[in-house]
Amino acid sequence: MTERAHEELQAAAARPVEIEAFCPLSSVGVLDIAGRSIRGKLRSHNSDHYLAVKLGRVQDTLISSLAPADLPQRFEEYAYVILVADGRGRRGAGAKASRVALSTLAHSAIRDGKWHVRVDPETAEDIRTQVEFFSRQAHDVLYQAHLADSERPDLATTLTAVYVAGTDLFAMGIGNSRALLFRDDYLIRLTNNRTLDQWLGAGHPRKADDVPPDPGPRGQDTAGQPDRTASVDQVQLMSGDRLLLCTDGFTDFVGDREIVEALTSRRHPGEQCQELLDLALAAGSADDITVVVADYRLRSR
């Protein structure tokens, strides 16, 4: 073999492997999240609590004899969970109920969660099953505490949750706390057993003042009470969507039209939360108030 042929062979062997970079939506979907919660003026305890969790998968090369060009760059993809709980009960029972519910879910996610970050029909069904499983766990813990705590026999809480993976959002609600989606000046409720497709697919977009009332009286369905179930709805997110999770200390005093006007300002989520709290206080809310605002966007691939 000539020296030139040998050099050409070496060059061919050293040529980087041509593999197209894999970039699923779960690696570029981002939530910017902020939350605020305040005790009501006439309340001895703040019975509201909120929690946002980032769940991830990471691949990072530690050592290799391969050339850097042969290896993928650091890869990471994430899913997000946001929860809001509004405790019910006297003598601090509500504050204990919402705290116990969210703490139970945070620990259960580590012990029992599968942490799906990519969604297909099979994983979508599994996510629904997981959400229902975790809501039952919180329910069971609270119900047992409800039976065991003679000083706080009315231990219960509402529970609202969203799970975001890629462009897929799963929403679950028990009780009167709400999860809302704000898109193109429309406000859509995510926790009334109707999906975004049902709202918009029929060709009848709903403005804020057209959204129907919540089903059931105040506090009708709460975790910690027997025979409570939750349905899980799935919607598709778009870059630029804004999510709002809030307790009824906010929504009982601030109407949908006012919410739309506030969210249209597109302030940073932290500033937006404070603006929403101020609206509820100005409207006379003396209840505990909790708002969580999350902006969804897709980074450049």
Q: DSSP string spanning 101-135? A: HHHHHHHHHHHH-----S--HHHHHHHHHHHHHHH
pLDDT in 10s for each residue of the chain, 301 residues: 666 655 555 555 556 567 777 777 788 889 999 999 999 888 888 999 999 999 999 999 999 999 888 888 899 999 999 999 998 877 678 888 898 889 988 988 888 877 888 888 888 888 888 888 888 888 778 777 766 666 655 678 889 999 999 999 999 888 889 999 999 889 999 985 333 333 334 333 334 444 333 333 333 445 555 444 567 889 999 999 999 999 999 999 999 999 999 999 889 999 999 999 999 999 999 999 999 999 999 887 6
Q: Domain limits at 135?
A: 21-61+68-286+293-298
Within a domain: 6: no
For residues 159 and 48, give the distance between their C-alpha atoms in angstroms, rounded to a whole number.
10
Within a domain: 8: no
Within a domain: 251: yes
Within a domain: 174: yes
SS3 237: coil
Within a domain: 12: no
Within a domain: 191: yes
Backbone angles phi, psi at 296, to 5 degrees: -105, 135
**Number of domains composing the chain:** 1
Within a domain: 2: no
Binning the chain into helix, strand and coil, the percentages to the nearest 5 are 35, 30, 40
CATH of the domain at 49: 3.60.40.10
For residues 35 and 90, the answer to whether their CB atoms sit within 8 Å is no
Within a domain: 187: yes
Q: Which amino acid is at 13?
A: A
